[in-house]
Structure 1
C-alpha cells in the first residue's frame, strides 16, 4: 500500500514528484486524489481550494436557455395549435418540416442598459429556433423567435427577420440550408450507384479501395465534401473527396473527386457532374473508363494506409530527450485563488475587473459588461466567426471555405484536461445547450485560472554613485486571469483565451492545432503547399477569426481616434545649422463614418476608442487603445466566388460601425452556402452613418496565413498558429495601474551599503498538496 506523499510547492515553478497522475487520467478522479490530505485542519491546497464566491450586481440578462425553458419551447413549437406541422427530427425526410436547433435569442442592448444602469426591469427573454420547412411549396429554412419566456398564454412564435439584411429575413433557400443527415442520406444512393459502377477503377488505382454506399460493409473508403454547397440557393452541389478511413483521415486524401448536383427535395433528380483525378476532368463514367483503360490514370504515389504517424501519441522513434521523464513546470495559484465567482450568474471579479459570461451554441463563450475598477470598458466582447479558406488545384481545396458557426462551434467546446489544457487547480465550468427536447452538458468546458506572466508588470533600477550599482530597485509581479475554452470543429482545435491583466489591459488570443485538411500530392503544385507525407500535400489556407468589441468607454458616446505617425520636414530656430530636417509627428483625427479599414503600413497609426466627453486629471480624453498583436491578418482573397459576399467581415483588419440592435452579428449561421446572395451581408452595415461621438462597435480579425509545413504532422502546433490583440488603457487613468499592487518588492541601498527590503506583507507562500500513486486507485487510464 502506498501512503500519501505530502509535498510543499514553493513560490516558483516546481517539479512535482512522479506521483502526479499522467496524461489521460480522469480529472474527476484526480480531484479525489488531490482532496486526500493529512488530517490537519490548518492544511490547505492551491489545487483544491475553491474560488471565493461573490454576488453579481444583477441577474445575468444574457443567460442561455434553462432545460425547462428549452423543453417548454420545444413543446410549444410541436403543439398542433402552433400550425408548424413538425415531424420528429430523428424520423424526418427532406420533404418534412422539423426543428434543426433551438437557442437563446440575444437580448437587445437598448433593453439591457436601462436594466443595468437605471434600475429598469430585467428584459424579457426569448428563444430562437431554426426550422427546416421541406414540406412547403417552396421549401426553405426559416428562423423563428419565441417569447417572452417562460412560456405562457402571452408567448408568441414569430419569424425572426429583423436582424438579417439580405432581403429574405430569416428565410434561407432549401438548397443553401445546412447539409444535415437527411440531405446526406438523400445523396448517398446516387453516390453509391456511380461509385459501384467504377469500383474496379478505384480498386486498381487505390490499393483495393472502393465505395458502395455508407451502410455497405464492402465500402473501405470514406467521403467528405466542404462548403459552400451553393452559390445563391438556386442550386446545390457537392464536390466530394474520397479518403482512407481512420482516426487521421484528414491526412490521407486520395486523388479522386466526384462532383454531383443535388438541387431540391427530389433525390431522383440528382445527377453526376463529373470526376476529377490526375488533375483532369471527366464529365461521364464512359470518359473516365476510357482514360483508365488507356493507362492514363496511374497514380505516381500510393497513399499510406498506416495512420500511426498522424496520431498525437508518444513517438519513441524520434529519439529520447534527456530528463523528459520529469513533469514539466506548471502554473499554480500558490497563494490561493484571487478571483471571485457567482457561478449561477456566470459573473467574475478579479483585481478590479468584473464581467459576465454567457454561451451561444454557435459563437461559444461571450463576455458582457466588462468593467475595470467599476467603470465600463466594453458592453460586449464576442467571437463572431471562424473562417477558413483554402487554395489548390483540386476541387475540394479550391472550393472550400468554412464558417465554423455553421457547424455550431460552441457545442464543440469539449472537456478540458487539467494540468495540460489548463493549469492544475483551475476552476472548471460546464456548458449547456439545447438538443431537440433535451439539454446537453459538456462538462468542464470552460476553465478560469490566474497565471504568472513570467515577466514583471513593471521594473526599474535607479543607479547611484555607490559600489552596488543602484540606490533603489522596484519590481511588480505580473499576473493575469485567463478564461479559456477549446472548440474542436472537425479537424481543428481552436483555443480561445481572454486574458485580463493587472494594469487594466485585456488581451484576446486564438490558437489553432489539429489535423490539416490536406490534398493529394503533385510535384508540380508546390505553390499550394509542400509535400508532408508519402502522398500528401499540406493545403495552403487562411484562418480568419472575427470578433465584435462593443466599446462603451464610460458610456455609449464614443469616438475612434486615429493618430498617424508622419515624417515631416521642418526647421527649428535653435538648430540653424540643420536648416530643414525630417522628424516624426502625429496627425490626429477622429473617424467620421462607418468603414472597414486596415492597420497602417509599418503600424504607423494608433487607434483609440475614447469618450470625447471624459478627461483624466491632465485634460486628456480617456480611452482604450487597440494594439495589434501577433499575426493580425485578413482574408487573402477578396473576390473569390466561394466567399464573394458572405465573408465580407473577414476582408479587413478592422471595421467600425454604429451600434444597432438589428446588427448584433457579423454573420448568419447559414450564410456559408450563399456566397453570391448572403442572408447577412456585412458590407451593408456601412451606409455612411456617423460614428464620431456615437455608440460604436469595433469589429476586428485575428488569424494566420497557414503556410503549411512538415511540422504540421501529426498536428499543427499552438506555438506557431497563434494570433492576438490587446486593448490597453490610453490616458484612461492618471497614471499606470500598478501602484496599488502589493505583490512587489522595493529594495534600497544607501551609500554605506545598508539594504532595506520591503515586501509589503506578501511573503513567500507555500502550497501544500497531497498526492498519491494513481495506479492502484484507478486500475489504469480513465476516460474524460
Structure 2
C-alpha cells in the first residue's frame, strides 16, 4: 500500500426494507512514479510518469447483536451437484444445492468472498427462529467491488497491517480489542502497537458475542483517466447488511407513499393512493449563477509545499 493525497468519502444508506449500506469512494491526486520502462508495475501515463500500482484497503468494524449478544456465523454456498431423485426415474440430474455450515472458532474466521458470488455470509441467532423454523439474522454481502491486500507476507508492512489480508474476518468481541490497527503501527512494523493477527487465538465463535471486520477497497492501476484526479466513478467499494428471515415480510410495503395500480386488458383501471396528497417540491434556481462568483477556492492541506497562512488552492489560467 502507498500513501496518497487521496480523499475517501464514505456514505451510509438506510433502505426501507431494513437494508443498511456502506460505501466508500476515492478521489484525488495519485502519487505517480518515474517511468523507467517498468511496465510490470504500472501503465505509462505521461511523458515521464508511471501510474504506480497499489491497493486501497479500508477496514470497517461491525458489531452485531441479532436478538441478543450471542450470535453465530453461518456460511451458505450455492454449489453445483449431481443427484438422483425419487421422481427422476433412476437418472442423475445436474442441478444446484445449498451447503450450510456454522463457524466454530476463530481458526475459521478469516476468509474471502467466494467466486461467482456463491458463498453467502449470515450473522444469525441460533436461539431465535422464525415461524418457519429458519434462523433469524442479517446477511452480509458485497454491494460493489471489494478488495484485500494483494501482497502476501509483505516485506514493507510486516506485522503492521494483518487486518488487510482478507475480505472478511470474525473475532470474539473484547473491549481490549477496539480497533484493528493503531496510528503508530507504521513506526514499528515488526512489533506494532496493534498486531491484528494476535486477535485470532482460537476462541469459539458459536453463539457468542461476535465482531465482523470487513475490508472495502480496490486494486488501483492508474491510467491516463486518473489525470489530473482519480474519479469516483469506478474508485468505489461497498457492502450491505440486509435482513435474512428476520422479518415476516418486506416492511417497505408499509410506506405511507405506496400506490396500487389495478389493470386489465392492457390498461390501468384504477390507481389507489390510499389518501395521500400529491406533493409538489419547487426547486429555486434563481441566483445560483451569482453564488458561483462567491466561490473562494478549495481549502487544501498540501504535502509539498504547504503554507498554512494561504490555504486556498489557486488555479493558474483556464481549467
- TM-score (structure 2 length as normaliser): 0.87
Trace 1:54-93 onto structure 2 (pairs within 5 A).
none
Partner of 2:196: 682
Cα deviation, residue 750, structure 1: 4.2
1:510 to 11, 24, 27: 24
Cα deviation, residue 727, structure 1: 0.6
- Other structure's SS at 2:201 match: coil
Partner of 1:579: 91
2:140 to 618, 626, 640: 626
Tell me the alpha carbon deviations over residues 536-559 of structure 1, each in whole angstroms, 9 at most, x when there is no partner.
Answer: 111100000111000011210000
Which structure is richer in relative contact order (CA contacts within 8 A, separation 6 or more)?
2
1:698 to 208, 212, 224: 212
Partner of 1:500: 14
Compared CA separation, residues 713 and 751, structure 1 to 2 (3 A): closer
Pairing 1:743–2:283 present: no
Q: Indicate if the aligned counterparts of 1:634 and 1:650 stay in contact, CA closer than 8 A.
A: yes
CA separation in 2, counterparts of 1:612 and 1:605?
19
Partner of 2:246: 732
Q: Indicate if the aligned counterparts of 1:618 and 1:734 stay in contact, CA closer than 8 A.
A: no
Trace 1:176-575 onto structure 2 (pairs within 5 A).
389=1, 401-402=2-3, 491-522=5-36, 524-575=37-88
Cα deviation, residue 636, structure 1: 0.1
- Other structure's SS at 2:183 match: coil
Tell me the alpha carbon deviations over residues 120-159 of structure 1, each in whole angstroms, 9 at most, x when there is no partner.
Answer: xxxxxxxxxxxxxxxxxxxxxxxxxxxxxxxxxxxxxxxx
CA separation in 1, counterparts of 2:268 and 2:196?
66
User: Which has the larger share of helix?
Assistant: 1
- Other structure's SS at 1:744 match: coil
Compared CA separation, residues 511 and 693, structure 1 to 2 (3 A): same
Q: Indicate if the aligned counterparts of 1:638 and 1:644 stay in contact, CA closer than 8 A.
A: no
CA separation in 2, counterparts of 1:496 and 1:635?
20
- Other structure's SS at 1:738 match: helix
Cα deviation, residue 685, structure 1: 0.5
- Give the number of the structure whose alpha-carbon radius of gyration is greater: 1
Could you say what the CA RMSD is over the residues aligned between the two structures, in angstroms? 2.1
Partner of 1:238: none
CA separation in 1, counterparts of 2:67 and 2:252?
21
CA separation in 1, counterparts of 2:266 and 2:159?
73
Partner of 1:593: 105
CA separation in 2, counterparts of 1:573 and 1:754?
46
- Other structure's SS at 2:116 match: helix
Cα deviation, residue 778, structure 1: 8.8
Aligned length: 296
Pairing 1:781–2:295 present: yes
Compared CA separation, residues 626 and 770, structure 1 to 2 (3 A): closer
Cα deviation, residue 509, structure 1: 0.3
CA separation in 2, counterparts of 1:494 and 1:538?
19
Compared CA separation, residues 762 and 526, structure 1 to 2 (3 A): farther
Partner of 1:710: 224
Cα deviation, residue 619, structure 1: 2.3
- Other structure's SS at 2:87 match: coil
- Other structure's SS at 1:739 match: helix
- Other structure's SS at 2:58 match: strand
* Consecutive unaligned residues in structure 2, runs of 5 or more: 299-319
2:156 to 642, 655, 670: 642
- Other structure's SS at 2:38 match: helix
Q: Indicate if the aligned counterparts of 2:122 and 2:140 stay in contact, CA closer than 8 A.
A: yes
Compared CA separation, residues 717 and 752, structure 1 to 2 (3 A): closer
Q: Indicate if the aligned counterparts of 1:641 and 1:676 stay in contact, CA closer than 8 A.
A: no
Tell me the alpha carbon deviations over residues 235-275 of structure 1, each in whole angstroms, 9 at most, x when there is no partner.
Answer: xxxxxxxxxxxxxxxxxxxxxxxxxxxxxxxxxxxxxxxxx
- Other structure's SS at 1:599 match: coil
Q: Indicate if the aligned counterparts of 1:557 and 1:611 stay in contact, CA closer than 8 A.
A: yes
Compared CA separation, residues 541 and 776, structure 1 to 2 (3 A): closer
Cα deviation, residue 521, structure 1: 1.1
* Consecutive unaligned residues in structure 1, runs of 5 or more: 1-388, 390-400, 403-489
CA separation in 1, counterparts of 2:276 and 2:75?
42
In the TM superposition, structure 1's runs of 4+ consecutive aligned residues that sit over 6 Å from their partners are 775-779
Compared CA separation, residues 507 and 775, structure 1 to 2 (3 A): closer
Trace 1:24-43 onto structure 2 (pairs within 5 A).
none
Compared CA separation, residues 765 and 782, structure 1 to 2 (3 A): farther
Cα deviation, residue 662, structure 1: 0.4
Tell me the alpha carbon deviations over residues 472-500 of structure 1, each in whole angstroms, 9 at most, x when there is no partner.
Answer: xxxxxxxxxxxxxxxxxx51110101111
Compared CA separation, residues 779 and 708, structure 1 to 2 (3 A): closer
- TM-score (structure 1 length as normaliser): 0.36
Tell me the alpha carbon deviations over residues 299-350 of structure 1, each in whole angstroms, 9 at most, x when there is no partner.
Answer: xxxxxxxxxxxxxxxxxxxxxxxxxxxxxxxxxxxxxxxxxxxxxxxxxxxx
Partner of 1:756: 270
2:168 to 654, 668, 677: 654
- Other structure's SS at 1:781 match: coil
- Other structure's SS at 2:252 match: coil
